[in-house]
């Protein structure tokens, strides 16, 4: 029976900036259990040792024997490609799946200039260390898609849950008010995806998701538990009247200077303007129609010294035995330091929403 209901934060950071490749910002982890033993974490980073002038982020890795003490591994696992317009500046938010032929495939959000919608692309690897970009987009549409999380399905297909951006000005960046909801897409071969109708989770349904959602990871039913469980991260808007610095991802001139310090500083200044992000839970009967339940991870705000005082988002879950899970997530303290934190499940269950134990919900 699933026990993913109460979470206990673990002290300290699993990964933090420690070298020129990741000294300025780390985010969006994905943790994979290595077949030979141990755990490998892939994460988004930026630092002064970026591979080219306009680069705004890439994917690094760290290894741990037991899942708590991670040691950064040398080199970049996946870097953006300046010659590919929708992957020219940044790759982030990885998710990794095992292929039928034994290889590994990584899906990730891919960004170019601010006037281009984000897309999901992929890379393949034999050993989880050397990755080769695969041609084409795995998923595109809306005003952009990103923050992918891959889930193998019982029928042999795969599903990606991701955010979909929508803009007031006909889906063209920059400008306009963004909506960022969760959608899904399915695949038979890991390369060609079809978007499923409707939204898995619509934004702006509560005070805590007024700026949209960035990631959603799903655990399918286990044992006699017929419920699917989703963990998703949502952002709350700044107080009314706040002067918010423009985030570089929305600024068409952000890449002109080419200094990673400029990008990281501008990004963190926006993060600290009064936004909050938290991690929530939802339940489903079929993996498509979802009902929100409550918050599972949040910080205590500006007066707290917690690693996740202001932001907790973009989670990755790993089963650690006895039906228990460890959640790795991006955390930002009140001073703007981003790290990877973790929490583990405790053995208790909530009272489920009546609609989960009773009649099915209509899909949105």
> HSE on the CB side for 327, CA within 13 Å?
32
Q: Is 364 a member of any domain? A: no
| Residue 304 pLDDT class (50, 70, 90 cuts) | very high
Q: Residue 197 burial (CB < 10 Å; 0-12/13-18/19+)?
A: exposed
Return d(Cα 16, Cα 37) in angstroms, integer. 23
Tokens representing 164?
Answer: 């979909």
Strands (E), 201-357: 213-219, 228-236, 276-284, 290-297, 311-321, 324-332, 338-346
Mean pLDDT computed over 267-276 = 93
Split into its structural domains, the chain has a count of 1
- What pLDDT is recorded for position 105? 98
- Min mean pLDDT across 4-8, 17-21, 120-124, 329-333 is at 4-8
CATH of residue 22 = 2.115.10.20
Rounded CA separation 92/78 (Å): 9
Residue 362 domain-assigned?
Answer: no
Lowest mean pLDDT among 241-245, 253-257, 308-312: 253-257
Give the residues across from 290 on adjacent strands.
Answer: 284
Report in angstroms the alpha-carbon separations of 122 from 28, 56, 80, 164. 16, 18, 11, 18
Average pLDDT over residues 9-38: 97
Structure tokens given for 96: 């990794």
* pLDDT single digits (tens) 96-135: 999 999 999 999 999 999 889 999 999 999 999 999 999 9
Is the CB of residue 281 less than 8 Å from the CB of residue 294?
yes
Q: What is the pLDDT of residue 256?
A: 55
Cβ distance 164 to 146 under 8 Å? no
Residue ranges making up the domain that contains 255: 6-357
Give domain status of residue 1, yes or no.
no
**Of the given ranges (14-18, 97-101, 105-109, 252-256), which has the lowest mean pLDDT?**
252-256
Contact 87, 81 (CB under 8 A): yes
Q: What is the pTM of this model?
A: 0.91
* HEC assignment per residue over 88-124: CCEEEEEEEEECCCCCEEEEEEEECCCCCCCEEEEEE
DSSP 8-class letter at 268: H
pLDDT digit string, tens, across residues 203-235: 998 889 998 999 999 999 877 778 999 999 999
Would you place residue 246 in the very low, low, confident or very high pLDDT band (cuts 50, 70, 90)? Answer: confident
Q: What is the mean pLDDT of the chain?
A: 89
- 101-106 contacts, C-beta under 8 A, 24 or more apart: 104/32, 104/128, 105/134, 105/190, 106/30, 106/42, 106/59, 106/78, 106/131
pLDDT grade for 4, boundaries at 50, 70 and 90: low
CB 79 within 8 A of CB 51: yes
d(CA 317, CA 67): 11
351 or 205: which leads in pLDDT: 205
- What dihedral do alpha carbons 307, 11, 34, 152 form, nearest 10°? -60
Domain membership flag for residue 159: yes
| Residue 308 within any structural domain of the chain | yes
Per-residue model confidence (pLDDT) at position 59: 98
Of the pLDDT bands very low, low, confident and very high (cuts 50, 70, 90), residue 263 is confident
pLDDT band (50, 70, 90) for residue 260? low
Torsions phi, psi of 197, nearest 5? -60, 150
Reported as a single tens digit per residue, the pLDDT across 134-159 is 999 999 999 999 999 999 999 999 99
Residue 201 lies in a domain: yes
State the first-to-last Cα distance of the chain, in angstroms, to the nearest integer. 28
Is the peptide bond between 174 and the residue preceding it cis, with omega within 30 degrees of 0?
A: yes
Q: Residue 219: which of 343, 119, 316, 137 has the closest Cα? A: 316
* Conformation bin of residue 204: beta by default, left when phi > 0, alpha when psi is -120 to 50: left
* Predicted pLDDT at 354: 45
Across 345-356, average pLDDT: 52
pLDDT > 50? residue 355: no
Give residue 115's pLDDT.
Answer: 87
344 beta partners: 8, 326
Is the pLDDT at 255 greater than 70? The verdict is no
Tokens 């952002």 found at: 235
In a domain, 235, yes or no: yes
**Residue 94 dihedral angles phi and psi, to the nearest 5°:** -75, 155
Measured CA to CA, the distance from residue 267 to residue 108 in angstroms comes to: 20
Q: For 33, which DSSP code?
A: E
**CA 256, 261, 266 angle in degrees (round to 5)?**
75
- The reply to whether 58 falls in a domain is yes
pLDDT at 9: 97
Task: Answer whether residue 249 shows pLDDT above 90.
Answer: no
């Amino acid at each position: 029976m699933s026990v993913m209901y109460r979470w206990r934060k673990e002290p300290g950071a699993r990964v933090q900036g420690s070298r020129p490749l990741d000294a300025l910002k780390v985010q969006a982890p994905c943790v994979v259990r290595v077949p030979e033993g141990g755990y490998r974490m892939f994460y988004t980073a930026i630092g002064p040792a970026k591979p080219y002038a306009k680069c705004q982020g890439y994917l690094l890795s760290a290894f741990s024997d037991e899942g708590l003490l991670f040691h950064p591994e040398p080199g970049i696992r996946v870097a953006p490609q300046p010659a590919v317009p929708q992957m020219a500046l940044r790759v982030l938010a990885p998710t990794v799946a095992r292929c039928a032929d034994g290889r590994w495939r990584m899906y990730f959000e891919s960004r170019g200039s601010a006037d281009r919608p984000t897309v999901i692309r992929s890379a393949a690897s034999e050993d989880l260390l050397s990755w080769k970009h695969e041609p084409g987009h795995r998923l595109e549409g809306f005003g952009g898609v990103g923050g992918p999380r891959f889930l193998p399905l019982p029928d042999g297909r795969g599903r990606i849950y991701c955010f979909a951006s929508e803009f007031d000005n006909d889906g063209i960046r920059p400008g306009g008010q963004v909506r960022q909801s969760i959608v899904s897409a399915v695949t038979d071969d890991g390369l060609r995806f079809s978007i499923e109708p409707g939204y898995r989770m619509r934004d702006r349904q509560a005070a805590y998701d007024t700026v949209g959602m960035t990631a959603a990871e799903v655990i399918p039913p286990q044992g006699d538990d017929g419920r699917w469980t989703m963990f998703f991260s949502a952002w709350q808007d700044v107080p009314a009247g706040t002067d918010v610095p423009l985030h570089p991802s929305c600024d068409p001139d952000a890449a002109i200077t080419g200094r990673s310090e400029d990008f990281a500083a501008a990004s963190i200044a926006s993060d600290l303007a009064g936004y909050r992000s938290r991690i929530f839970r939802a339940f489903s009967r079929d993996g498509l129609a979802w009902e929100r339940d409550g918050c599972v991870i949040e910080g205590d705000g500006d007066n707290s010294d917690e690693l996740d005082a202001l932001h907790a988002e973009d989670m990755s879950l790993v089963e650690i035995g006895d039906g228990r899970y460890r959640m790795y997530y991006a955390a930002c303290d009140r001073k703007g330091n981003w790290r990877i934190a973790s929490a583990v499940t405790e053995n208790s269950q909530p009272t489920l929403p009546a609609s989960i134990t009773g009649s099915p919900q209509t899909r949105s």
